[in-house]
Amino acid sequence: MPSLATLPNDLAKFARYHLVRRAETYPAREDDLGIVPLPFDLDRYVERIRAFDGPRFEVATRATVTYRDREHPVLSVRSRGEADKTLLVLSGVHGNEHAGLLAVPPILEAWSFDRVRLVVVTPVNPVGAAELSRFNAEGYDINRDFVRFGTPEARVVRDVFDAERPDFVISLHEGPQDATFIFTNRHVETKLAHALCDALATGGTVLAEKDYFGLRLTPPGLSASSPGARLVTKLWALTLGMKATIAYSEDQGIPEIVLESSWRMRDEAARVRPHVDLVSAVAERLT
């Protein structure tokens, strides 16, 4: 891994976010990380998600978070009926990664897997989603808070894990790399990870040759768990008290995939597509 000093400026700034739980004191925007904003309006989005409440899905408010006297809900959407397996999708843990939010309506529209219960939490970070920020109202990175659970948003996710006991977790993210890739924890079988990359490519997604630190991905699109990465994750939790959802899942024996589309892409459909395709591809293989 290159040292922070050799990374281009914007990537060095991005890397800094891996070292602190609280990078800011408010939901700060990053204007220099090359994020291409997608058309997203939180109120309209919430209304659109609530409209799925009906015979197929049950929509509930898991929590409300307040910022500047405005209350924003964290919603959960659950498919109705009996199912053998539960697939949990976390959408919008980082509020400025809008593709993973905009993917939820098409994910719900396309959902046709009777034997899998779908549970979506969205937006995990509504204040960040409204403010185009990675962080929550207090400037915390929720995806570093799965040791201490100091943020209400991380506590909501923990409660959903406890209540739903998911068999598989997908967390929808974006990053500064040029194309799409997935992180997998140690419980995701290699064969499955390869098949999912193939499914994304078949759907028209361009898979990244390198991750956002410039590390080569083999095969393209896959950053699999390794003993070295697991050691870093363990030290990260022990020394800095930080843990991401993918490691929290790993500790509980649950396979998790983090999808990272490229926030540099201007093509909204191409950014949203891998999120929709990955959820279907996993659900197909969970039955």
CB 57 to Zn ion: min, Å? 25
Beta carbon nearer to Zn ion, 97 or 145: 97
CB 143 to Zn ion: min, Å? 6
Residues 6 or more apart from 221 whose CB is under 8 A from it? 179, 180, 181, 182, 197, 200, 201, 207, 208
Q: Is 98 in the site for Zn ion (CB under 5 A)?
A: no
- Taking CB under 5 A as the criterion, which residues in 219-248 touch Zn ion? none
Beta carbon nearer to Zn ion, 94 or 144: 94
- Taking CB under 5 A as the criterion, which residues in 145-204 touch Zn ion? 173
- Per-residue binding string, Zn ion, 35-74, x by CB under 5 A, is ----------------------------------------
User: Binding segment for Zn ion among 73-81, 86-94, 125-133, 268-276 (CB under 5 A)?
Assistant: 86-94
Give the count of alpha carbons within 13 A of 168, CB side only.
25
Beta carbon nearer to Zn ion, 173 or 273: 173
Q: Is 271 in the site for Zn ion (CB under 5 A)?
A: no
For residues 208 and 127, the answer to whether their CB atoms sit within 8 Å is: no
For residues 287 and 116, the answer to whether their CB atoms sit within 8 Å is: yes
User: Binding segment for Zn ion among 88-96, 101-109, 199-207, 247-255 (CB under 5 A)?
Assistant: 88-96
Q: Enumerate the β-bridge partners of residue 181.
A: 260
As given in the structure block, the two tokens for residue 63 are 């929590």
For residues 93 and 142, the answer to whether their CB atoms sit within 8 Å is: yes
CB 176 to Zn ion: min, Å? 10
Query: Which residue carries 């459909």 as its tokens?
Result: 269
Of positions 94, 117, 144, 186, contacts Zn ion by CB under 5 A: 94
CB 74 to Zn ion: min, Å? 16
CB 144 to Zn ion: min, Å? 11
> What are the CA-CA distances from residue 137 to residues 18, 45, 90, 148 (Å)?
19, 19, 19, 17
Helix (H) or strand (E) holding 260: strand 256-262
- N-terminal to C-terminal alpha carbon distance within the chain: 38
Q: Number of residues interacting with Zn ion: please give it, by CB under 5 A.
A: 3
Beta carbon nearer to Zn ion, 222 or 246: 246
CB 173 to Zn ion: min, Å? 3
Beta carbon nearer to Zn ion, 97 or 250: 97
For residues 162 and 254, the answer to whether their CB atoms sit within 8 Å is: no
Longest CA–CA separation in the chain, Å: 54
SS3 assignment, position 129 = helix
Q: How far apart are CA 255 and CA 239, in angstroms?
A: 25
- Round the CA-based radius of gyration of the chain to a whole number and report it: 17
CB 32 to Zn ion: min, Å? 17
Beta carbon nearer to Zn ion, 72 or 94: 94
**Applying CB under 5 A, which residues contact Zn ion?**
94, 97, 173
